[in-house]
Amino acid sequence: SSAIKQSILAKLMVEVEANLGTAMTYTLFEYAKDNKELFMENQPVNTVTSVSNSIAIGTPDVPASKKKDKKEQLSKTQKRKLADKTDNKGELPRGWNWVDVIK
């Protein structure tokens, strides 16, 4: 409700005035997180009664197991180049990115 919002803003403004002149964004978030029970003590409790009605109206959910992320497909030449660069474990050899100082 708007009365709760105004009381929260008033309590935060007191904290702002106490920390004036310092970097206080993190301090304000921590203050709000630590005192959330104090802020919400006068908040009326809302109960949800018609959850099944809202689900029936919406689109059918597709299980996450059926959706698979596609892997990037490499061409034969890309696979061959990758295999040439790596050893049998798929790791790059030691020193692959070293710079030759003397040629």
Question: 33 phi and psi, to 5 degrees?
Answer: -70, -40
Rg of the chain over Cα atoms, rounded to whole angstroms, equals: 29
Asked whether residue 23 is assigned to any structural domain, the reply reads: yes
Split into its structural domains, the chain has a count of: 1
Asked whether residue 29 is assigned to any structural domain, the reply reads: yes
Asked whether residue 99 is assigned to any structural domain, the reply reads: no
Asked whether residue 100 is assigned to any structural domain, the reply reads: no
**Nearest-angstrom CA–CA distance, 64 and 68:** 8
Cβ pair 87, 93 in contact under 8 A? yes
Domain boundaries, position 20: 2-41
CA-to-CA separations, 52 to 8, 47, 49, 59, in angstroms, rounded: 33, 14, 8, 13
Is the pTM of the predicted complex or chain greater than 0.75? no
Is the Cα dihedral 51, 64, 67, 65 positive or negative?
A: negative
Asked whether residue 34 is assigned to any structural domain, the reply reads: yes
Interval 17-61: pLDDT, tens = 888 888 888 888 888 888 888 877 777 766 555 555 555 555 555
